[in-house]
Structure 1
Amino acid sequence: MDLTLNKETVFDKVAVAKQDAQRKDDVSIIAVTKYVDSSVAGQLIDAGVMHIGENRVDKFLDKYHSLADKSVTWHLIGSLQRRKVKDVINLVDYFHALDSLKLAHEINKRANHVINCFLQVNISREASKRGFKVEELDEAIKELTELPNIRLVGLMTMAPAHASEDELEAIFEETFQLRELLKSKKIKNMPMTELSMGMSSDYRIAIKHGATFVRIGTAFFQ
């Protein structure tokens, strides 16, 4: 496994996807390192990766402390149990899975500064997926605006594992349009400038539909 070569390949492919989509804005690449140890994650950072993402709190904390000497932006991208919020929330730069009002209140309570969060939306309407339903957002946002330690920078969604290209196009476009609608409302504590969507198998389509953060794991470690 040549991490430097893999990193260059991933970055080149994202650049091509941006060019194909006629995008001039930034697309940040989050290396999802849940299947590798801190040493390998550190090598990726040394190769030029600037964003590291973890799904689980224990893996996040291990890498965060092991790589404390590295300059990197830290993302917690997986679901977060309320009882673990106090252990991790003040260490993350971005939290990608704000999926309930109860979790939002716990984050607001435990945070010692404003936390950049993505509102997780269940665009695909899968019963197995977490996140807010579109029809729940208006009421939820009214409550979220009253939480001073939460800043909603954008939306996060995940497509079904075996979605067709047409399904991916529809899901990512709906998320983009929803983000645009919320952004236009200029709601307090909700800049809504970002979109976290797209993984190793579908980031090209996500970029076409406005993703500003893509979460890539397996492509770095082939």
Structure 2
Amino acid sequence: MIAEKLKEVKENIEGAKAKRSPDKQHEVRLIAVTKNHDVQAMREAIDAGVTDIGENRIQEAKEKFATLDRDVTWHLIGHLQTNKAKQAVKIFDLIHSVDTLHLAEAINNAAAGINKVQKVLVQVNLAKEDSKSGVYVEELADLLHKVDELPNLQLMGLMCIAPNYDDVEECRPLFAKMYEIFQKVKEITFSTANILYLSMGMTHDYEIAVEEGANMVRVGTGIFGPRQY
């Protein structure tokens, strides 16, 4: 079941890539979002070819991390509270949701405590939704430079979440704009940043995100089915 759904998602990604312009023919990393899915489902997905998993909550990730027994790349895709930074740096290879200098400093200090350089993305709230985290684009450059100055962080790119439109096509202009911003950020001269990733697109809109230039998508329900609450 999971293997079949995973195959379908990968085929959809390839189909979306085929619609892209020649300048966007980069690989796409698929992050299987395992929030509210058990370790057995995670193992099944990994054994079927998943290499990256995404979790939203520290406590749930911590329990799974201790028992999963598989070699995968761990992504934190949910909002991170500063008081959970110490736990986050012990588990996650890439944190997608840095949206304030205060949070960046907390992660930096936690990473320094275990002699780690923590890879991070900065989350952008392009639609300025009150219900979502993320820095507004007007303040983005300033935050990027400040994150770049923190010695135990390495800035790897940007993340965004599109509004949950009834018509998924309404996401397209936002994703297109986000790709433009990503391209501009890649031209900035940083000290240690390595701007590689544009993380955008989830189960309902990942194909449009890929068409518009995402190179990292976060898919849960599309692989695992409805969440087990």
The answer to whether the superposition gives a TM-score over 0.5 is yes
* Moved beyond 6 Å, runs of 4+: none
Percent identity of equivalent pairs: 39
| Deviation, structure 1 residue 91 | 2.1
| Deviation, structure 1 residue 145 | 2.4
Q: State the aligned residue count.
A: 220
Superposition RMSD in Å:
1.4
Question: Per the alignment, do residues 6 and 108 of structure 1 end up closer, same or farther by CA in structure 2, a change over 3 Å counting?
Answer: same
TM-score by structure 1 length? 0.94
Where structure 2 has 5 or more consecutive residues not aligned to the other structure, the ranges are: none
What residue identity is the alignment partner of 2:129? Answer: E
- Indicate the SS of the match to 1:49: coil
Separation in 1 of the partners of 2:120 and 2:142?
18
Alpha-carbon contact 2:168-2:204 (below 8 Å) kept: no
More deviation in 152-161 or 82-91? 82-91
Alpha-carbon contact 1:104-1:144 (below 8 Å) kept: yes
Per the alignment, residue 45 of structure 1 pairs with 46
- Indicate the SS of the match to 1:90: helix
Per the alignment, residue 162 of structure 1 pairs with 165
Question: Per the alignment, do residues 32 and 120 of structure 1 end up closer, same or farther by CA in structure 2, a change over 3 Å counting?
Answer: same
Are 1:174 and 2:177 counterparts? Answer: yes
Per the alignment, residue 201 of structure 1 pairs with 204
| Deviation, structure 1 residue 166 | 4.8
TM-score by structure 2 length? 0.91
Deviations 1:59-95 (A, max 9, x none): 111221111x312111111001111111121321111
- Indicate the SS of the match to 2:96: strand
Separation in 2 of the partners of 1:124 and 1:135?
12
Where structure 1 has 5 or more consecutive residues not aligned to the other structure, the ranges are: none
Per the alignment, residue 54 of structure 1 pairs with 55
Separation in 1 of the partners of 2:29 and 2:35?
18
Residue pairs, 1:1-222, within 5 angstroms:
2-22=1-21, 23-67=24-68, 69-111=69-111, 112-162=115-165, 164-222=167-225
Separation in 1 of the partners of 2:147 and 2:120?
11
Separation in 2 of the partners of 1:78 and 1:104?
15
